[in-house]
Amino acid sequence: MPLEQEVKGILIVGFLIVMIIAIIFTLFFAIKNKQSITGYAWIFLYFIFFTVAILFGYNAISFDYNHPMASEEISLQIGFAGVAWSISMFCLVMGIYIFSRKSLI
C-alpha cells in the first residue's frame, strides 16, 4: 500500500514510545506489588503478542504491492496479525481476571 515516506517511521517511533512507557509503568507496578506477579506476567505476554500483531500489520502495509502475489501475501500477514492480536487479547483478559480475582478476596 503506498504511503508517504515519513509515515512508516512515525508509526514505528510512536508505537515504540507508547509501548516503552507502558512497559516501564507495568514493571514499576509489578515490582511494587509482588503478590500479583501472575497477573503481570499475563500483561507482559499481552505486550509481546500485541507487538507481534503490530509487526505483522506493519509488514502488511509495507509489502510491495507491485509483487505478483502481493494480495495473497498481504492477506496472510493480516491473518497472522489477527491471530497474534487475538492471543494478546486473551492474555490481557487473563491478566485482568487475575487482578480482579485478587482484589475480590
- How far, in Å, CA of 81 to CA of 76, rounded? 9
Domain boundaries, the chain: 5-104
pLDDT, position 39: 92
pLDDT, position 94: 96
Q: What percent of the chain has pLDDT over 90?
A: 64
- How far, in Å, CA of 63 to CA of 38, rounded? 38
Give the mean pLDDT of the chain.
90
| Per-residue pLDDT tens digits for 11-50 | 899 999 999 999 999 999 999 988 889 999 999 999 999 9
Burial 79-94 (b: 16+ CB within 10 A, else e): ebbeebbebbeebbeb
